[in-house]
Amino acid sequence: MIFNLSDKPSIAQDFIRQLRDHKVQADPARFRRNLRRIGQVLAYEISQMLDYAEVEVETPLGTARCSRLENKLVLATILRAGLPLHDGLLSFFGDAENAFIASYRRHHKDGTFEIAMEYATFPSVKGKTLVLADAMIATGSSIEHAYEAISAEEKPISLHVVSAIASSQGVDRLKRIYPNCFIWTGAIDDELTAKSYIVPGLGDAGDLAYGLKGQD
C-alpha cells in the first residue's frame, strides 16, 4: 500500500509547499516544524491501520467505553534529517519504543555511492509494528540497510515506511523488496538525477534542518 498526502486536498499539502520553498527554507526552525507536522499527519493516517480493543474506563461521572491501541510500536529513524519527522510520529505514539540509525552516502570517484552505516541502536522488533522514517527516500537504499540491520535476527509483524518526499523509483524499489510494507509519504516526485537526487525535491533536508555538515 502506498499513501501519498498529495493525492487529496488537505493542509498537509501546504506543509509540503513550505518545505519545498527555498525562501521559507531560510528559517531552520520553521523547516523542522513542518517536518514534524508531516510526521504528525502521517502518524494519524497510520493509526487507522492499527488494531484496537474496546475497554471500559471510569470517569469522574461514570463508565465510558473507549478504544485502546493494541499494537506494540517501534519508531525508527535515520539520522539526522529524520529526527523532526520522528518527533512528529512520537508525539502521537508516545508509548512506542525507539530506534536510531546513523548512515550516509559514501561517494566514489566514478559517481556511484554506497550506504555506510556508522551507528544503530534498536530494541527487539519481534511481534511489533515497525515504523521506519527518513525525511527523503531517493533510491530506497538507506531504508533497506536500516531495515535489514533492525530485522537481522527478528522480524516485525509489519513495516511502515514514512517520508516527507519520495521518488517514484525509490517507492517502486521498496515495494519490490518488501511487497507487504506500507509506504506513507507527503509527496512522490518522478525524477531522480544521475547522482540520485530527487527533483524537484527540496534540497538536503539534514542541512536545512540542522545546518551545513562539516567537510570530510
Q: Which tens digits make up the pLDDT trace of 93-139? A: 999 999 999 876 666 566 666 677 778 899 999 999 999 999 999 99
pLDDT in tens, 61-98: 999 999 999 999 999 999 888 999 999 999 999 999 99
- 203 belongs to a structural domain: no
- 12 belongs to a structural domain: yes
Dist CA 98 CA 39 (whole Å)? 15
Q: How many domains does the chain have?
A: 1
CATH of residue 79's domain is: 3.40.50.2020
Q: Per the confidence metrics, is the pTM higher than 0.75?
A: yes
- 112 belongs to a structural domain: yes
> Would you place residue 216 in the very low, low, confident or very high pLDDT band (cuts 50, 70, 90)?
very low
- 205 belongs to a structural domain: no
Q: What is the pLDDT of residue 73?
A: 98
Strand 52-59 to strand 62-69: parallel, antiparallel, or no bridges (unpaired)?
antiparallel
Residue 8's domain comprises 2-190
Under 8 Å between Cβ of 65 and 55: yes
